[in-house]
Amino acid sequence: MNDKTEELLVAQMKRGDRYAFAQIYEKYRPSVFRTACLISGNAQDGEDIAQETFVKVFTHCAELKSDAMFRYWLFKILNRTAWTFLNRKKTEIPDENILDKADANCNPLTEDTFLKKEQQNEIFQAVTQLDYKLRLVVILYYYNELTTKQIAKIADCCEGTVKSRLFTARRRLKQLLPEERYGDYHEKQSV
């Protein structure tokens, strides 16, 4: 789906077209679910946050001023929904296999992929130990490949604040990850 097609679907959704909403839902559901799982620390809460996000998207889509800004608006709603959900819940119970569950395209496990997944899980466990604001920028930057400018729009803050949070998060992750296993990671972060 290209940008023009998406803008057309968003415009149709704003007029109440459920088919247009279904197409947008299908496109964004995997990334919204994955992001919600990473933020919340488990698949069940991730599913709840994702569902609540899409309900808000459909019920409040008329408030979107620019159809071209839909993706940022969606992630902004996801951010606020996750923040509210986690504050209500007050506890996080990380699921050690969250990346396996959130990744819909699982490949057969070889020794290399097993070691890579194990390393990803260790990194994810370290990410879940970060406070919410640091965790959010790490997830949006590294897992969703958004720019610092895009993250600033989603998080309602300055781009410099996003960069500062990324720097702080990297420094904290460096402390949380064992240097003997992540020596390359530590060297890359200090450059």
Number of separate helices (H) and strands (E) present in the chain? 10, 0
CA neighbor of 34 nearest in space, from 47, 52, 21: 47
Judgement on whether residues 118 and 48 belong to the same structural domain of the protein:
no
Whether residue 102 lies inside any domain: the answer is: no
Confidence of residue 28 (pLDDT cuts 50, 70, 90): very high
The answer as to whether 101 is a domain residue is: no
Residue 56 lies in a domain: yes
pLDDT of residue 18: 92
pLDDT tens digit string along 75-122? 999 999 998 898 887 544 455 555 555 554 445 556 666 666 777 778
* Structural domains in the chain (count): 2
Given pLDDT bands bounded at 50, 70 and 90, which one contains residue 184?
low
The pLDDT mean for the chain works out to: 82
Q: Can you give the pLDDT at residue 124?
A: 80
Quick one: 114 and 180 in the same domain? yes
For residues 188 and 115, membership in a common domain is answered with yes
Question: Residue 178: exposed, middle, or buried by beta-carbon count in 10 A (0-12, 13-18, 19+)?
Answer: exposed
Q: Does residue 104 lie within any of the structural domains?
A: no
| Stated pTM of the model | 0.67
Alpha-carbon span 168 to 65, nearest angstrom: 34
Same domain for 86 and 4: yes
Q: Which amino acid is at 150?
A: Q
Q: What is the mean pLDDT of residues 161-177?
A: 91
- Same domain (yes/no): 83, 131: no
Question: Looking at per-residue confidence, does 180 or 151 come out higher?
Answer: 151
Are 129 and 169 within one domain? Answer: yes
> Can you give the CATH number for the domain in which 127 is found?
1.10.10.10
Inform me whether the pLDDT recorded for 66 exceeds 80. yes
For residue 99, is it within any domain?
Answer: no
190 pLDDT more than 60 = no
Determine the structural domain holding residue 65 and report its residue range.
1-90
**The token pair that represents 22 in the structure block:** 């279904």
What whole-number percentage of the chain has pLDDT above 90?
41
